[in-house]
Structures are given as structure tokens and as C-alpha cells.
A and B are shown apart, each in its own frame.
Chain A
Amino acid sequence: SQQGEEDPQALSIQEGENATMNCSYKTSINNLQWYRQNSGRGLVHLILIRSNEREKHSGRLRVTLDTSKKSSSLLITASRAADTASYFCATDFQGAQKLVFGQGTRLTINP
């Protein structure tokens, strides 16, 4: 399967701490995306990093991509209770619009 794997499956930290989630994938990609899913809601796009980029920032989010290791990480700094959600990485499949999602990391921020 070309599906990615995310690590850890679940993460629980205190408010204010940083949260790091990792994603590994199997095939070559054009880009990798991160999405957030709040309980009972659809996925919301957070950030996209292209295969020729190594790092990207958006607010409190920092994404890295290592194409040689076929892995990416999402760092959320200064976490807030509102960051509690599941986070998914997604890779494009064969350059098409089709996305393949990882199994997700369930993040809990404790007040």
C-alpha cells in the first residue's frame, strides 16, 4: 500500500508545550499536506509542502520534509486546548489529484 503511517497514534501534552507528529510514506511525491480533523467534523487543510522544499512555516505550525527518508514532521508550538484534534498527513498519488491519507495522530491538549 502507498498509504503513509503516522507516529505516534496518540499524543497527550500540557497546554503550552510543543507537539510533534511524524509521517512516513512509501512512494515518490510531488507534495505532502497536513490536515486537521476536529471531532465530528470534516478535515481542514493546514499546510502543503512541495517535494523541493525542506521546511515550511505557518503561524505556530512548522512542517519539515525529508524526501530521502520519505518522512515529514508537523510541529505545533505553544499548544492550546483548541489544538485538540486528529492530524493527518496526505500525499499525492502519481501526481494526480488523488490523495492518500495516513492513519492520523490523535492529539489531546490538557489545560
Chain B
Amino acid sequence: DAGVIQSPRHEVTEMGQEVTLRCKPISGHDYLFWYRQTMMRGLELLIYFNNNVPIDDSGMPEDRFSAKMPNASFSTLKIQPSEPRDSAVYFCASTDGYQPQHFGDGTRLSIL
């Protein structure tokens, strides 16, 4: 199994630009999670999906953040416009609801 695949691994962009992070969950997993990790706030859940439907987006910081899951094998997290305080490592994780969550290796985002 290839595991959870995230792209890009690193992203550096200027403030105000649109940023799109991508995630491919493990095949057969019908739960998908987006997390953000910073030194100050630790690991925070932003949003999670079940069967491609957003279940809980209470962790999404503000309207600049949006997430979609158009099909079972792909999800995006978009930030528009980006701000320096959005700099963090963003993780995607998936599970079938019975096994523990499997994490991707994250996208390290730097907003200049």
C-alpha cells in the first residue's frame, strides 16, 4: 500500500497568493482528515470528511480556508489569500473507521 500521499512536500509562496494542498488517501478509507501543525498550537484538526462529505469543519480558521473532496481518492485544502500566519505543516490522514488514522508526510508551507 502506498500510504497517504500529499503534494507538494514543500511550498513557498508570497502573501496574498492562492495555495492548494493535495491529498490522496489510502484506497478503501472513507474518512479523510486535514490537520495543521505549528510550534505554538500543536496539531489541530481543521476538517474531516466521511464518504466525501464534510462532517466537521469547526477547526477551519476562517473563510480564507476551504476544503473539498470531489471523489474518494482525492482531496484539496485551499488557502486564498494566504497570509504569513498560515505558515505551518499541513497533514492529511485517512482511516476506514476501524483502524487508526494513517498520516501522510505533510506539506511544509511557508508564506513570505
Contacts and interface: CB of A to CB of B under 8 A. Distances in A.
B48 A98 contact: yes
Given A97-B95, A98-B56, A42 B42 contact: no
B36 to A, nearest CB: 11
A97 to B, nearest CB: 5
A104 B42 contact: yes
B52 interface: no
B34 interface: no
Q: Which size bracket describes the interface of A in this complex?
A: 10 to 19
Contacts, number: 43
Interface stretch (A20-28, A43-51, A62-70, A71-79): A43-51
Given A97-B95, A97-B97, A42 B106 contact: yes
Interface residues of B, number: 21
Given A97-B95, A98-B56, A48 B105 contact: no
A102 B55 CA distance: 22
A14 B91 CA distance: 31
Contacts of B33: 97
A13 B100 CA distance: 29
A33 interface: yes
Interface of B: 4, 31, 33, 42-43, 45, 48, 50, 55-56, 91, 93, 95, 97, 100-106
26 contacts: A3-B42, A33-B100, A40-B105, A41-B106, A42-B103, A42-B104, A43-B43, A43-B91, A43-B103, A44-B103, A45-B102, A48-B100, A88-B43, A96-B56, A97-B31, A97-B97, A98-B45, A98-B48, A98-B56, A99-B45, A99-B101, A100-B45, A101-B43, A102-B42, A103-B42, A104-B43
